[in-house]
Amino acid sequence: MEKKTLIEVLALTGTYLQQHANQKRSDSKALKVLNNTFFEEFEDVIKTEHSSNAWFTEDNVRLALSGISYALRKEKLEKWLKKYPGIPIEVSNAKTIGVVMAGNIPMVGFHDLVSVLVSGHKLLGRLSTKDERLMKLFTRLLVHIEPDIEPRIEFSDEYLNKTDAIIATGSNNTGRYFEYYFKNIPHIIRKNRNGIAVLTGDETENDLQKLGADIFNYFGLGCRNVTKLYLPDGFPPEKIMKTFDSFSQLAEHHKYGNNLNYNRTLYLMNNEKFFDNGAVILKESMDIASPVGVVNFEKYADLNKLNNQLSALKEQIQCIVSIDKRIEGSIKPGESQMPEMWDYADGIDTLIFLKEIV
């Protein structure tokens, strides 16, 4: 399939999904047939997905669809693929790419699926049981728009041992297993990473509210969620906790609330110091990753030293949120869950990897 055609298919898919993100059905001719076939089914899945996976609330599913529709805008797809003149590859060179998808946030495997499609290869995917319905429905939508895609996407519950290459996402434990099992074929193995934020003390209340979204969207379960704050010396932790009061409704979610209560009890039993506003715990720690309901923080005195420290920890960091442009590669508060197609997980260019498998 030509690159131009696939861009048009993906752009139409993004336009369709934007309706569900905005909860507003479009009357446009371009979407009429798709809406007649898919709209009610999509809405049903969006509203009931929490019954299969309690973390996938309606708000979180719509948030994920909003991010996907944003990434699939035509101009963004053209900008993304412009730097890969050899893609899609020739049909005669197409291989089968196994993709093991995670299920921590809704449709987290979308980027890998689209990357394999635009590369010209065939996808053999293994879905997470936590995120099957949305991904299968998304795939059906793609195939309905462009039937030629159908032979290039297959899902399997078996081990992906008949593949030419592997892209797998999981925990540190499963990552070690993947590395051993797929050691003899080209692979990308992703392990645990998290987002961090470096505060300067000059943040506005709006900046801090947006940072709260970077922390609490998807209950903090995404690899791009901020789990660790670096606070300048003299910055009162109570200030950030006051901002976090606006996210108090999270504690009403039973799974989040249970995790919060468990960690609070654990810290109290161990006589550990922490800040607690009833919705989140802020705890001083050297760790990047934090449990659900907990945000770690660490103080710093010198920005240059902090940059060096972060460089040494880059294998644990997915993204950095900061208003300070001196923090290399940082993004603005509120942007962590709206990655572009060229914002590759773990900093590994998936399309270059796929292009070289011939």
Q: Which DSSP string corresponds to 4-51?
A: HHHHHHHHHHHHHHHHHHHT-----HHHHHHIIIIIHHHHHHHHHGGG
* Same domain flag for 187 and 199: no
* Same domain flag for 177 and 201: no
Instruction: Give Dmax (Cα) for the chain.
Output: 64
CATH of the domain at 112: 3.40.605.10
Residues 229-266 pLDDT 10s: 999 999 999 999 988 999 999 999 999 999 999 999 99
* Same domain flag for 70 and 183: yes
* 298 part of a folded domain: yes
Domain count of the fold of the chain? 2
A 10 A CB-CB count for 334 gives: 17
Q: What is the mean pLDDT of the chain?
A: 95
Cα–Cα distance for residue pair 26/19, rounded to 1 Å:
7
* Same domain flag for 245 and 180: no
Classified as helix, coil or strand, 100 is strand
* Same domain flag for 186 and 208: no
Residues 303-331 pLDDT 10s: 999 999 999 999 999 999 999 999 988 99
What is the arrangement of strands in the sheet containing 194-198, beginning at the earlier edge strand?
Answer: 275-276, 281-284, 294-300, 226-232, 194-198, 317-321
* Same domain flag for 187 and 204: no
- The token duo for 143 is 């195939």
Enter the DSSP assignment of 253: S
* Same domain flag for 44 and 127: yes
* 260 part of a folded domain: yes
Which residues span the domain enclosing 258? 194-321
- The token duo for 161 is 């041992």
Residues 10-42 pLDDT 10s: 999 999 999 999 999 998 999 999 999 999 999
Inform me whether the pLDDT recorded for 177 exceeds 90.
no
Residues 67-124 pLDDT 10s: 999 999 999 999 999 999 989 988 889 999 999 999 999 999 999 999 999 999 999 9
* 224 part of a folded domain: yes
Q: At a CB cut-off of 8 Å and minimum separation 6, what does 180 contact?
A: none
| Cβ(232)–Cβ(261) below 8 Å | no
Classified as helix, coil or strand, 210 is helix
- With vertex at residue 17, the alpha carbon angle to CA 160 and CA 26, rounded to the nearest 5 degrees, is 155
* 149 part of a folded domain: yes
- The token duo for 53 is 């996976």
